[in-house]
Structure 1
Amino acid sequence: MQAEVKAIVEQSLKKAREHDSRRNAGQAYAYYTAVVELSPENRSKVEKEFTDVLCEWGLQLEQNNRIRDVIKCYEHSLEHYPKNPRMLNNFAAHLLRNAEPIKAIQYLKRALEADPSFLPAERNLQNAFSMAVDRWHFPMLNDRHRNHAFDKAIRKKIALGYDSVLDIGTGTGLLSLYARDAGAAEIYACESSPVMSEIAGKVFAKNNADEIKLIPKMSTDLKIPEDIPHRVQLVITETFDAGLFGEFVVPTLIDAHKRLLSDSGVVIPSNATLYVAAIECEYIRFRSSVKFQKPNHFGPLNFENISVLPDEPYYDTENLQNVKICHITEPRGILDVNFNDSTEILSFSVDGLKNRITTECRYDGTIDGLVAWFKLHLDEEITIDSSQGKSCWQLAVFPSIPRYCQKGDKISISAEMSAGKLKCSYSSNKLVNKVEECVFHLPKEVITFLNDREYISSLTQAASIANEEIESVLDTSPFPIFGLALMKSNPNCRVLYYQSEDLMLCSFIEKVFDDNEIKGEIRFLNDFCEIDAVVDRIFVHNFDINGELTDWGQESYHDFFSCFLSPRGSLLPGKIHLMGQLVFSEDLPKMISVKNSNVQRFCSSVSTSDSEKTSDEENSYESTPTFSDKSPSYKLAEFINEYKINQVFDLNSSLYQHEAISEVKTLMEMDETQIKEHLITFGKFDKSKKLPNALIVWYKIQFSENNVCETRRNDSFMNHMAVVLPDEIKKSIQRDGEVKIKILQFYLNFTI
């Protein structure tokens, strides 16, 4: 019997390797499975082969929308290799791509337990935390003024007898805790997110809030008397995004008025006013549109009468606190909504124009678009202004093609609802182009790429020095500036390969190609494997707009693209260095973790006489909260901080307060073939001054010795990242210790 099993195992292993060599991953996986099941003693010998095939087969299954089969294969394989970090990580990656972050977190933690230095699992764990708990929860909970304002408004209403409360979208449960300690008789808190509902349950238990009934449902699914015994007198909700309506507060409150709120009940906030202004802002211009007015940095190429706008039909959100922004028009209120008037709320549930105002330009300038913000009136006296100071809300930005205007020009600004979201636009008979333009709506990464003059200049410079023997080029950037510039300046270059499935982008490239009278042809690819000949020059743009290098998974991108290179061919860029600088920042730590001190109640109690006060000290959002030993001490941070991350991606550090504490250091040269450790010494710091609490990290891209471009710039095509340092760094400095940063590199992944 043993001989028969041995023969089957040997034959299965042979078949597995044959199918693997032919790229038949499914058949190879089946035969490898037979080997590991029938021959436990051979599992360690074939573990790498088995894992390679499983990962390849899993990708093929996912591409064919067979995610259930992916799950079955990985779960079965992990029975044999329960501590294989790569297997655990890749399974988690499938789960993340299919929006199952909680399940993915379990496998990623197992992967890091098996191998703490397996960096792909650590990076995916950060992604999983971000997917499980939206990052806006952290700055929101750290916004003491917001918390203070809601606390005051809740106390005032409950003091007036509105003491049965429904907290819609409770999140961590903070507003429900405020209601409890304000004396509410009944409190119901609903939350549809399973993760946030679990966090709220832990928060209530830790704060001895058993009287708060937590219901893990959307408010629109609540039923009386199954979930709550009767209609409530007070509905509290803070479900607002930068565009006010984006978190579906309108249908939520329509339903609440209809089924959940008593006829004499009230809503906090009571109403809101939306403000809008036309702006001139270079930062917005470079990220929201491309108008090719000064094309010198495009080398030999010209883009006459072409403009580019984002393909996102709604708005972007930006923190513009530290950005130069000029209001071309006076800020004006354009919408008012009374959350206590069900008829008025209902009008905002219907798509279409809601208001139009006419205003005039205050000076000569360029209109780059509109910005909108709101004042949230919690009651008759307490207001939160989302445009002020350190508000957790950013501004809603509605970009447009930059238009010149003159002082006194009148423009019409419209606000409408579209698919439940706000949409603002402007028009004017005077603000038209003298020459008719061709407008293309393209992804944001194309816009930021085309607006990065320094990077584009580096690319066109690299293209201009290409020798005459080049006949073909492959360009993998968001827009093939390098390839087009090379073809126009080098008549021997006849073919440009470019991968894209975006039809609008392909049309844009073809127009530039035709307008510049470039000889040769563009071959658009769905897959790089469609390349049918060797290529003389390949530009590999493996940068993600959020500040990372593209993860190629199992495959080396150098090895992959080298397969297409001619003997005399070469890859660009030549080198990529990781750069870093230590900084002190009050803003960055608030983006990744919550402090309990920021969620505590305002110390004074509210009596009837208190609620009648109208002084700035008592009712202004801007008043500074003060606390006393009599205030309850809420314990909340530890539960949401289970999902904190230490690396902030998609960061433009110029938008946030920070102060350089060290010189700029080269941290390492990126090498996708290496797994190694780097140790960088930043030296000692004066402990009597500000100490570093974060490391800003970006890339230096080198095309040649004298052609170098760094990505930490206001007009960079990509953002960068920051690593928030642990408190132990500060303690080390206070002990007169040196600051040393250890970087673990796993191919193109790294952790600090």
Structure 2
Amino acid sequence: MNYNLTLRFIKCLVLPTIKRFKSSSKVSEVKMSQVFKQVRNPLTGSMDWDVQHEEYDTFQDIARAAFADMLHDTERNKKYQRALELAIQKMHEQGKPANVLDIGTGTGLLSMMAARAGADSIVACEAFEPMAECCLKILAKNGLADKIKVIPKRSTELTVGEEGDLKQRANILVTEVFDTELIGEGALSTFSHAHKHLLEADCIVVPDSAVIYAQVVECPTMQKWNKVNDLVDEDLNVVLRTPQKMKDCPETAAVHDIQLSQLPRSSFKLLSEPLPVFYYDWSGKSPVDFNRTVRQSFVAKQTGAGQMVFMWWDLNMDTEGKIVLSCAPWWNHPDVNLEAERPQDTIPWRDHWMQAVYYFPKSVMLSKDTEASLISCQDEYSLWFYLEDEKTKFKEYKRPACECGFHLTFSRTHISYLNDGTRSKKFLARLKEVLNPNSIVLDLNGSSLMGLAAAKMAKTVYIHEDKKVNLGIQNEYCQANDINNITFIPEITEEIAAQADVIICDPCFKTSIQPWHSLMQYAHTVLKLKPKLKGSVEMVPDSCELWAMPVDFYDLQKIRVPVKKCEGFDMAIFDELVEGARQISDDELDAQPLWEYPCRARGPPQQLLHVDFADVKERYTADNECPIINPPSDKLSSVNGFALWSVYRLGAAAVSAGPSPALADSHLVSWDMRARQAVHILEKTHVVTKKNKWKYHLICDLEKGKFSVNMKIILPQ
């Protein structure tokens, strides 16, 4: 195949030019040519070429955008509506027309709210052209096409004047250009430009202002997503020491967005009160500051290691600060019901605005009632933090950057997996059972530490790795642990395969996303090596299973289910657009860290697939019907999705990325925190009884690198 980088080929590697949808909002009805696109091969982890729709990237952006999640956010919608009503009322009381500018309108919801509240003129801009097209159709569907002017441009491209996009400057701005960091989507430049070029001096902005809060905490659980620990066995002996440069590395300042309200309250100590670190005046009364550093002193609430801050923000929606939208975790949320069994379930849920964790470049041990200082830094798009006390001072507060390579090479999920002491102790125990001083080991995964640990127990270890960055990290470990019996190999030769007494593969390939990716990469490699291996070769792990069960999510389904109506407006056209985009670009199963998304089990776990690595086959298929949990008598229950996870067998032990063994209809599922599970969200919630079942159809083709599983509820005839 000729992979010359023609203009057409380059077009499919970047965000394509978007074609207008002339005849229908359904993406699936748009006729397009096809192009080659790079996609990840689940068997090798490498990028291969595949044929996709020409506008594949665009559809993926539509399918995975948080538009639907926001539309399901009732609190957000109602507070925007009330703030708009007050702003328009205030303009009218002053004898002025209410001229509204909506920046980043998306579906047009905020503009329609402004129209309903009595705005005299409304101009909405939306740079993402498929959404601008969709917005126009939604406005027409709701009878508002003649009241709202939609401009398919960025706000920074808008013009004002008789021949411009706006006839005159607006006196009300409504916008939602915020992310988990508040300013990560360019809010500072958006507001700054709007006040200079698009708004009147005495305008009203919805929201009016914002405050970022930070709270200093000690949290060993979250620290496992950040710092690499020594590898320790069941007897608490250090098997593998982490190189000092990795322990001392300041890591990076990248935000770690997370559903903090789902973090077990017993897993962290609050060392400070919530500190208001940055205030943002969106109203234009004070200039926007694109770079600043703020020092705030506080007295430690209790003794502990200041390892990080938990961060969130509040929006003051109106000019008087009476309408507040808070993204605080439950223990600091103004609307929480602390008397509830699960207080976190009593505050609004949202996935588009979560909380964030920022790790300090250096942790500081604080004593109760002693003073310390939090240094908060901000540039145009991001935040970072330092912690100081009397003994710990920094000469400068530059943005932290990884100096060891580990944090640039591996994701936080991968680092957390490597720090999973329960899992690693089971692996080490199994290695001790199968290895001896004369063993020759072949390690299939250079993204793991198990090959390094095996070198302490075996004669020779071959590690399959050809990435320079990974090799550099592995060599750092070898030097720090005086390991000299490892050979790194870019490919596995017949000679090396024939020598191996033990094959190990910690199933944590850094390219893996879904639960079956590591399974397929491991099994495919073993399948290719099978004719060359000794008949007595040991496999660690020796087998893998994929399990699934029906569940009832509390909130996660909101990222996928149709909106239908939002605050009284018909959003069916948007639902059609998103569904069509998903059919083209999205898999049926998403990878999610389910510990952040509460759900109840609605059926016993079912094994879908078993792969014995000593007897790997080219293709696996499975079909079955499975029971729903039988509620007492004929009590109704509900199912809105399925969860899927992996279980690896290590002799008599098992390493599961799924739920804890105790599952009951009336209790939340407790999920493994160090891995992602796969989720299939149903288009609608099914009300079920003991008469219902669910079924699945699975195909795992190791020869072609194809995996698919279809799961659905069987409705009674």
TM-score (norm 1): 0.72
| Partner of residue 149, structure 1 | 79
SS at match of 1:473: strand
> How far apart, CA to CA, are the structure 1 residues paired with 2:310 and 2:285?
28
Bigger drift between 163-172 and 736-745 goes to 736-745
> How far apart, CA to CA, are the structure 2 residues paired with 1:181 and 1:191?
20
Kindly indicate whether the alpha-carbon contact (under 8 Å) linking 1:231 and 1:261 is maintained by their aligned counterparts in 2. Answer: yes
Alpha-carbon distance, 1:237 to partner: 0.9
Q: Deviation per CA, 1:530-552, whole angstroms, max 9, x where unpaired?
A: 99844624434365564333287
2:271 paired with 1:328: yes
| Partner of residue 558, structure 2 | 590
2:221 paired with 1:252: no
| Partner of residue 711, structure 1 | 657
Distance 1:295 1:394, change over 3 A: farther
Kindly indicate whether the alpha-carbon contact (under 8 Å) linking 1:452 and 1:715 is maintained by their aligned counterparts in 2. Answer: no
Greater per-residue helix proportion: 1
Kindly indicate whether the alpha-carbon contact (under 8 Å) linking 2:514 and 2:677 is maintained by their aligned counterparts in 1. Answer: yes
> How far apart, CA to CA, are the structure 2 residues paired with 1:131 and 1:633?
22
The residue identity in structure 2 corresponding to 1:749 is F
SS at match of 2:549: strand
The residue identity in structure 2 corresponding to 1:398 is Y
The residue identity in structure 2 corresponding to 1:473 is L
> How far apart, CA to CA, are the structure 2 residues paired with 1:147 and 1:167?
14
SS at match of 1:517: coil
Kindly indicate whether the alpha-carbon contact (under 8 Å) linking 1:309 and 1:439 is maintained by their aligned counterparts in 2. Answer: yes
| Partner of residue 279, structure 1 | 217
| Partner of residue 230, structure 1 | 168
Q: Deviation per CA, 1:440-496, whole angstroms, max 9, x where unpaired?
A: 6422244112211222123222322225553342341523x2211111111x21544
> Of 142, 145, 150, which aligns to 1:214?
150
The gaps in structure 2 that reach 5 residues or longer are 13-30, 41-49, 92-96, 334-346, 394-401, 660-670, 712-717
| Partner of residue 78, structure 1 | none
SS at match of 1:247: coil
SS at match of 1:252: helix
Kindly indicate whether the alpha-carbon contact (under 8 Å) linking 2:226 and 2:251 is maintained by their aligned counterparts in 1. Answer: no
> Of 92, 116, 125, which aligns to 1:190?
125
| Partner of residue 177, structure 2 | 239
| Partner of residue 470, structure 1 | 439
> How far apart, CA to CA, are the structure 2 residues paired with 1:539 and 1:128?
40
Distance 1:280 1:92, change over 3 A: farther
> How far apart, CA to CA, are the structure 2 residues paired with 1:743 and 1:533?
38
> How far apart, CA to CA, are the structure 2 residues paired with 1:344 and 1:740?
58
2:138 paired with 1:171: no
The residue identity in structure 1 corresponding to 2:90 is L
> How far apart, CA to CA, are the structure 1 residues paired with 2:417 and 2:123?
49
The residue identity in structure 1 corresponding to 2:305 is T
2:606 paired with 1:665: yes
> How far apart, CA to CA, are the structure 1 residues paired with 2:120 and 2:177?
24
> How far apart, CA to CA, are the structure 1 residues paired with 2:250 and 2:623?
40
Distance 1:355 1:228, change over 3 A: same
What does residue range 520-535 of structure 1 map to in structure 2 within 5 Å?
A: 520-523=485-488, 527-528=490-491, 533-534=496-497
| Partner of residue 542, structure 2 | 574
SS at match of 1:528: coil
Kindly indicate whether the alpha-carbon contact (under 8 Å) linking 2:624 and 2:695 is maintained by their aligned counterparts in 1. Answer: yes
The residue identity in structure 1 corresponding to 2:68 is F
SS at match of 1:140: helix
> How far apart, CA to CA, are the structure 2 residues paired with 1:531 and 1:266?
73
Alpha-carbon distance, 1:69 to partner: 5.2
> Of 635, 638, 649, which aligns to 1:702?
649
> How far apart, CA to CA, are the structure 2 residues paired with 1:429 and 1:728?
56
The residue identity in structure 2 corresponding to 1:581 is M
The residue identity in structure 1 corresponding to 2:357 is V
The residue identity in structure 1 corresponding to 2:378 is M
Kindly indicate whether the alpha-carbon contact (under 8 Å) linking 1:295 and 1:302 is maintained by their aligned counterparts in 2. Answer: no
> Of 394, 398, 415, which aligns to 2:358?
398
What does residue range 36-435 of structure 1 map to in structure 2 within 5 Å?
A: 61=3, 68=8, 94=37, 106=53, 130-161=60-91, 163-210=98-145, 211-224=147-160, 225-292=163-230, 300-303=239-242, 305=244, 307=247, 312-323=252-263, 324=265, 325-341=268-284, 343-345=286-288, 347-348=289-290, 351=291, 353-379=292-318, 380=320, 381-387=322-328, 388=333, 389-392=347-350, 393-400=353-360, 403-418=364-379, 420-430=381-391
> How far apart, CA to CA, are the structure 1 residues paired with 2:193 and 2:494?
56
> How far apart, CA to CA, are the structure 2 residues paired with 1:634 and 1:507?
52
The residue identity in structure 2 corresponding to 1:317 is D
> How far apart, CA to CA, are the structure 1 residues paired with 2:313 and 2:224?
25
Kindly indicate whether the alpha-carbon contact (under 8 Å) linking 1:298 and 1:457 is maintained by their aligned counterparts in 2. Answer: no
| Partner of residue 678, structure 2 | 721
SS at match of 1:147: helix
> How far apart, CA to CA, are the structure 2 residues paired with 1:95 and 1:500?
19
Kindly indicate whether the alpha-carbon contact (under 8 Å) linking 1:133 and 1:195 is maintained by their aligned counterparts in 2. Answer: no
> How far apart, CA to CA, are the structure 1 residues paired with 2:239 and 2:202?
71
> How far apart, CA to CA, are the structure 1 residues paired with 2:541 and 2:36?
29
> How far apart, CA to CA, are the structure 2 residues paired with 1:308 and 1:668?
42
> How far apart, CA to CA, are the structure 2 residues paired with 1:429 and 1:236?
45
Kindly indicate whether the alpha-carbon contact (under 8 Å) linking 1:233 and 1:265 is maintained by their aligned counterparts in 2. Answer: yes
Kindly indicate whether the alpha-carbon contact (under 8 Å) linking 1:488 and 1:519 is maintained by their aligned counterparts in 2. Answer: no
Distance 1:308 1:190, change over 3 A: farther
Kindly indicate whether the alpha-carbon contact (under 8 Å) linking 1:146 and 1:391 is maintained by their aligned counterparts in 2. Answer: no
| Partner of residue 459, structure 1 | 427
| Partner of residue 122, structure 1 | none
> How far apart, CA to CA, are the structure 2 residues paired with 1:694 and 1:666?
17
Distance 1:135 1:411, change over 3 A: farther
| Partner of residue 514, structure 2 | 547
Bigger drift between 132-141 and 205-214 goes to 132-141
Kindly indicate whether the alpha-carbon contact (under 8 Å) linking 1:187 and 1:212 is maintained by their aligned counterparts in 2. Answer: yes
Q: Deviation per CA, 1:393-432, whole angstroms, max 9, x where unpaired?
A: 2112102465543212332212222352222232334469
Kindly indicate whether the alpha-carbon contact (under 8 Å) linking 1:474 and 1:498 is maintained by their aligned counterparts in 2. Answer: no
Alpha-carbon distance, 1:189 to partner: 1.0
SS at match of 2:189: helix
Distance 1:300 1:96, change over 3 A: closer
Distance 1:89 1:634, change over 3 A: closer
- Structure number with greater Rg is 1
Distance 1:231 1:304, change over 3 A: closer
> How far apart, CA to CA, are the structure 1 residues paired with 2:624 and 2:32?
26
Alpha-carbon distance, 1:365 to partner: 2.4
Sequence identity (%): 19
> Of 501, 517, 522, which aligns to 2:482?
517
Distance 1:594 1:361, change over 3 A: farther
The residue identity in structure 2 corresponding to 1:427 is E
Q: Deviation per CA, 1:674-697, whole angstroms, max 9, x where unpaired?
A: 253411311463352432322221
Kindly indicate whether the alpha-carbon contact (under 8 Å) linking 2:443 and 2:461 is maintained by their aligned counterparts in 1. Answer: no
> How far apart, CA to CA, are the structure 2 residues paired with 1:107 and 1:739?
40
Q: Deviation per CA, 1:84-139, whole angstroms, max 9, x where unpaired?
A: xxxx9996771678xxxxx987579xxxxxxxxxxxxxxxx8x9754334443232
Kindly indicate whether the alpha-carbon contact (under 8 Å) linking 2:100 and 2:170 is maintained by their aligned counterparts in 1. Answer: yes
Greater per-residue strand proportion: 2
Distance 1:419 1:311, change over 3 A: farther
| Partner of residue 114, structure 1 | none
SS at match of 2:247: strand
> How far apart, CA to CA, are the structure 1 residues paired with 2:170 and 2:58?
37
Distance 1:406 1:698, change over 3 A: same
Alpha-carbon distance, 1:190 to partner: 0.9
2:584 paired with 1:638: no
Alpha-carbon distance, 1:149 to partner: 0.3
Kindly indicate whether the alpha-carbon contact (under 8 Å) linking 2:215 and 2:273 is maintained by their aligned counterparts in 1. Answer: yes
